[in-house]
Amino acid sequence: MAVRTTAAAVGLIIAVNADISITPFIEVANNIVTQNCTNVDLTVATLELIERWLSAHFYRMRELQVAEKRAAPVSQSFQSTLYTGFDNSTYGQMAMRIDWSGALSSLNEQAKKGGLLTAGITWVGTPAEEDD
């Protein structure tokens, strides 16, 4: 999979734990950018920036979901579920701002409404009579 950004570039905007690979977050961001943002006139540089900030967003969402509390010899780990829309972190918000096409904002709104909505038309009338 050819990604546009690098772990080093993502590391410039978010502190990354050396024990956690940023690669899976970059791959997810790359997939979303490729599927949603490449059909408009966004430059290669802009696509890389969107992917970089979106990678940081996904990494941040991982941090928010897993937490550990310690008090002397006792520790407690827990995992919580948060709305993971792009607007749930400053990194996701920045990715949407960089994407002037509005593709990420549209995808974010679709996710809030429960996914992609499709419309259809079904004809329930009778066929029109043919002219003689």
Residue 121, domain member (yes or no)? no
CA dist 107 → 5, 80, 129 (Å): 21, 23, 44
Residue 72, domain member (yes or no)? yes
CB neighbours of 4 closer than 8 A, spacing ≥ 6?
30, 33, 44, 47, 48, 51, 52
Partners of residue 70 on adjacent β-strands? 75
Residue 81, domain member (yes or no)? yes
Domain that holds residue 93: 7-112
d(CA 103, CA 96): 8
CA dist 54 → 71, 92, 118, 129, 130 (Å): 34, 6, 26, 56, 57
Number of domains in the chain: 1
Residue 120, domain member (yes or no)? no
Predicted confidence at residue 35, as pLDDT, reads 95
Residue 59, domain member (yes or no)? yes
pLDDT, mean over the chain: 83
CA dist 121 → 118, 124 (Å): 10, 10
Structure tokens at 11: 């590391």
Residue 2, domain member (yes or no)? no
At 46-90, the pLDDT tens digits run 999 999 999 999 999 887 655 566 666 766 655 555 566 899 899
Q: Whole-prediction pTM value? A: 0.73
